[in-house]
């Protein structure tokens, strides 16, 4: 088969750094994080959308797992819309990839071509692979999604210089029905002392629970995507529930300069 006919995939960029590169080790670690989520915290109705952190697994995976564990019973989810902030490439708007799949050590995930074309047709995004090439905010979510959902198609969106209204409009375009899960990737405050970070992040978490789209970059690196989700959630009558929260000083870092993490689920009333 010619290379032109072969599927093109984005290769893992942070496997072996943010999470294990060996498939068996990765699978074991993800399952261990999921198994550690208390049973009493696992609601039977799956969320329509989640907010999850994107640091290295040793720092934020226990918090992310609290959201992903809620998807164990998410029957019928076959499509994931995944948004995360751009950490390496500056650009205007939103970027979707041109490749056919995203690969992880657990295997390839096909791109949702219909959703991609919808965003491009309505000029809600640009087609560009460079913002995706080394972006970790999306990649670290994929092993969890593969573990809890099995087979699904992926619409990965990197958020650049965009307004919350622009991103909310893009979300509305690809919102879908029960088959679609929305995932927004963000960490909270960065590099404060532990006690100050706890206070700052508590305010951010209250705003998210109130569906108040006023977050700034100092509150959350993925604030644009989170604000957009809060707008869409309010419009559709969803309610936010906090699932877990901590910071790197609670997991694998010192307490002089910490990064905050939280996970939320968004549910129909």
Yes or no: say if 19 and 140 are a contact pair by the CB < 8 Å rule. Answer: yes
pLDDT of the residue at 41: 52
**Predicted TM-score of the model (pTM):** 0.95
Position 17 in a domain: no
pLDDT of the residue at 184: 99
Chain segment 110-148, per-residue pLDDT in tens: 999 999 999 999 999 999 999 999 999 999 999 999 999
Position 16 in a domain: no
Strand partners, 153: 79
- Regions of the chain with pLDDT less than 70: 1-6, 40-44, 73
CA dihedral of residues 205, 208, 210, 213 (deg, nearest 10): 130
Yes or no: say if 12 and 103 are a contact pair by the CB < 8 Å rule. Answer: yes
Cα–Cα dist 94/237, whole Å: 25
pLDDT of the residue at 40: 59
Q: Which domain holds residue 152?
A: 3-11+22-268
Structure tokens at 226: 């989170």
Yes or no: say if 98 and 127 are a contact pair by the CB < 8 Å rule. Answer: yes
Yes or no: say if 202 and 225 are a contact pair by the CB < 8 Å rule. Answer: no
Chain segment 135-145, per-residue pLDDT in tens: 999 999 999 99
pLDDT of the residue at 110: 98
Total domain count, the chain = 1
What is the Cα gyration radius of the chain?
17
| DSSP assignment letter at 141 | T
Position 241 in a domain: yes
Structure tokens at 207: 């705003």
Position 141 in a domain: yes
Residue 54: CATH number of its domain: 3.40.830.10
């Amino acid at each position: 088969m010619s290379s032109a006919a072969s599927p093109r995939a984005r290769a893992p960029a942070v496997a072996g750094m943010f999470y294990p590169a060996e498939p068996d080790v990765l699978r074991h670690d993800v399952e261990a994080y999921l198994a550690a989520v208390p049973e009493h915290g696992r609601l039977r109705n799956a969320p329509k959308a989640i907010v999850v952190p994107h640091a290295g697994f040793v720092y934020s995976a226990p918090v992310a797992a609290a959201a992903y564990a809620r998807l164990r019973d998410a029957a019928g989810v076959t499509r994931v819309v995944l948004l995360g902030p751009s950490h390496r490439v500056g650009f205007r708007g939103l970027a979707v990839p041109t490749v056919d799949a995203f690969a992880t050590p657990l295997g390839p995930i096909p791109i949702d071509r219909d959703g991609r074309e919808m965003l491009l047709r309505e000029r809600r995004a640009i087609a560009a692979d460079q913002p995706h090439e080394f972006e970790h905010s999306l990649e670290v979510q994929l092993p969890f999604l593969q573990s809890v959902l099995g087979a699904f198609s992926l619409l990965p969106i990197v958020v650049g210089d965009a307004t919350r209204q622009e991103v909310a409009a893009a979300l509305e375009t690809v919102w879908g029905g029960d088959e679609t899960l929305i995932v927004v990737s963000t960490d909270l405050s960065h590099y404060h002392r532990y006690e100050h970070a706890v206070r700052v992040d508590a305010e951010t978490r209250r705003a998210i629970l109130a569906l108040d789209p006023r977050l700034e970059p100092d509150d959350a690196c993925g604030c644009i995507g989170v604000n957009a989700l809060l707008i869409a959630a309010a419009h559709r009558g969803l309610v936010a529930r906090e699932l877990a929260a901590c910071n790197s000083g609670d997991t694998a870092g010192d307490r002089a300069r910490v990064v905050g993490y939280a996970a939320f689920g968004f549910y129909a009333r």
